[in-house]
A and B are shown apart, each in its own frame.
Chain A
């Protein structure tokens, strides 16, 4: 059973470009969480999704950021018009259920904005 997959592992973008980060949860997991980790800090929750539904996006910046988890395919975190402050590691986690359980983390995507 493959773990949580994220791609790309490293992404370099210039200011103003778009960044698309992909996450494929573990087989059988229908709950996906996105977290952001700034340098030297812990992870901060961004958004929680189930298939075709955004359940909690309280951690998402109001502008430029969006997330989806379609019926088929990976979950996508999209950052439009990136700025230098978006440079961070973005981690995706999945779980078989959204309550009281272990979350399995992917290796992360390291976004660098030039």
Chain B
């Protein structure tokens, strides 16, 4: 599997439900970020979690990071139709102690929230 691989590939839920997306990666990282992409648009940064953090919150978003399992999850609570988008995790890999901020993206999870 690739660095930064999300699952599920697609998720369909009703408005008000919670959505959970998972991301796995292979190498040691400095940080992991989640981005949202609306169809045909650019990426919007959602949240960054550093390798020494285990959990982070931002509004309706909750991100966890388990470096021992090399995995992260993004939880969106009380989803809205406007949350419909593709969600990508991106890792900033650590190589020999240096990082250029070069991000490695997963394939993404397509979230559809039905009103």
Given contacts A103-B45, A105-B43, contact A42 B106 (CB under 8 A): yes
- Bits for A85-114, please: 1 = Cβ < 8 Å to B, else 0: 000000101010111111111111010000
Interface contact B41-A56, CB-CB below 8 Å: no
Task: Bin chain B's interface residue count.
Answer: 20 to 34
- Which residues of A in the span 66-83 have a Cβ within 8 Å of any Cβ on B? none
Residues in chain B near residue A56, CB distance under 8 A:
100, 102
Which one of B42, B45, B107, B108 has the greatest number of beta carbons of chain A within 10 Å?
B42
Q: For the complex, give the distance between the alpha carbons of A62 and B108 in Å.
A: 27
- The smallest beta-carbon distance between B2 and chain A, in angstroms, is 8
Interface contact B43-A99, CB-CB below 8 Å: no
- Bits for A9-50, please: 1 = Cβ < 8 Å to B, else 0: 000000000000000000000010101000001111100100
Instruction: Determine which of A44, A45, A104, A107 lies in contact with B41 in the assembled complex, contact meaning CB atoms within 8 Å.
Output: A107
Q: For the complex, give the distance between the alpha carbons of A104 and B56 in Å.
A: 20
Given contacts A33-B102, A99-B101, contact A43 B88 (CB under 8 A): yes
- The smallest beta-carbon distance between A107 and chain B, in angstroms, is 4
Interface contact B43-A91, CB-CB below 8 Å: yes
Interface contact A102-B33, CB-CB below 8 Å: yes
Interface contact A100-B30, CB-CB below 8 Å: yes
In the complex, the chain B residue whose C-beta lies closest to that of A100 is B30
Indicate whether B13 reaches chain A with its CB closer than 8 angstroms: no
Q: For the complex, give the distance between the alpha carbons of A45 and B88 in Å.
A: 14
Closest CB pairs A-B (n = 5): A42-B105, A105-B43, A107-B42, A43-B105, A105-B42
A selection of 25 A-B contacts at a CB cut-off of 8 Å is A33-B102, A35-B103, A42-B88, A42-B106, A42-B107, A43-B90, A43-B103, A44-B105, A45-B102, A48-B100, A48-B102, A91-B43, A93-B103, A95-B101, A97-B101, A98-B99, A99-B30, A100-B30, A100-B50, A100-B92, A100-B99, A105-B42, A105-B43, A106-B42, A107-B42
